[in-house]
Structures are given as structure tokens and as C-alpha cells.
Structure 1
Amino acid sequence: MTTWQEFEKILTAISPVDKVLIDALVQLVSKRWNLKVSQKELAKRSGMSLAQVTSLELLETMPTLKILSQYADGLGMKLELTVVPA
């Protein structure tokens, strides 16, 4: 099985901004698994539909900050945006 870190090295068609959003999603999904929260439970907690959660985790749709924030909220977490020198 390929890890995210291995797969990440071969990505070339994803913009740096989209990569940041996907990285955040990967961290959130990992946290959901560690907390043993089902997709159905997360959907209920976050106010998202089960279809939205599933589609998001399969990357059928690109995550937005708003959606990632909802997802994080469903896990009792919050997103923090940091600005750093380029």
C-alpha cells in the first residue's frame, strides 16, 4: 500500500494551493480514523451530508477552507491559517 508521503512525491498536476488543502484533508481524515469516528457520525456532527463527506474523502471534489473547517469542527478541532514569507 502506498502512503500519502510516497504518493505526494509523484504529484505534479496539483497546484501548491490545492496541495495545502489536500494535506489538511489528509490530516483530518487521519484524525477521524484515530478517533474511530465513522463518516456517518462525522456528517451528523459537522452538518454535512454523508455523501459530502464521502465525496470529499475520495477527492471527488476539491476541499475548500469552509468545508475543511466544517469537517474539523465535527472532530472538535479548528483550522488555523498561517502566513509565512515566500
Structure 2
Amino acid sequence: MIVWDNIKDKTSSINEDEMKVVTTLSKLHDSRIKLGVTQKELADRIGMQQPQLAKIERMDSMPTLVTLNRYARGLGLEIQMSLVSSK
């Protein structure tokens, strides 16, 4: 199975902001697998159809922060953000 951690350093077409979203989704997906939660179970928990969740995990489109938060809450997790100096 291809996992994000193995290919992310080879990806150059994703900008820095999108990379943060992809990395967050990757960690959420990894958590779902480790918790033994199927796509169907998670989709039911967050009021989404399984095919829609599959599209998110395949990165067919860039998920919003709202969608990432729904995904996290469905796993009993919370996304936390922080501000740091860009210098």
C-alpha cells in the first residue's frame, strides 16, 4: 500500500498551504485505519456517504477545514491550529 509519508518528499506540484491539508488528512486517514474504523462506519458517524468519504481520502478534491474537522470528530479527535512566526 502506498502511504503519504513515503511519497510526500517527491511531490512538488502541491503548494505549501495545500501540503498542510494533505498532511492533516494523511494523519486522520492513518488514525482511522489504526482505530479499525471502516470508511462506511466513519461516513455514518459524520453524516456523509461512504463514496464521498472515499473521494476525500483519494484527494479527488482539496478538503476544507470544516470537512477535516468532521472527519476528526468522527474518530474522537480534534484538530488544533496554532500561529507561529513565518520568519
- Tell me the TM-score normalised to structure 2 length: 0.92
What's 1:53 paired with? 53
RMSD, matched Cα? 1.2
1:33–1:53 distance in 2 versus 1, CA, 3 Å:
same
Q: Which runs of 5+ in 1 are unaligned?
A: none
Q: Per-residue deviation at 1:2?
A: 4.8
Q: Which runs of at least 4 in structure 1 moved beyond 2 Å after TM superposition? A: 1-6
Matched, 1:66 2:66: yes
What's 2:8 paired with? 8
**Number of equivalent positions:** 86
Equivalent-residue separation in structure 2 for 1:11 and 1:45 (angstroms) = 32
Contact map agreement 1:47 1:70 (CA 8 A) in 2: no
Q: Which runs of 5+ in 2 are unaligned?
A: none
Equivalent-residue separation in structure 2 for 1:12 and 1:64 (angstroms) = 21
Residues 20-59 of structure 1: pairs in structure 2 closer than 5 A: 20-59=20-59
* Identity %, equivalent residues: 34
Equivalent residue letter for 2:77: M
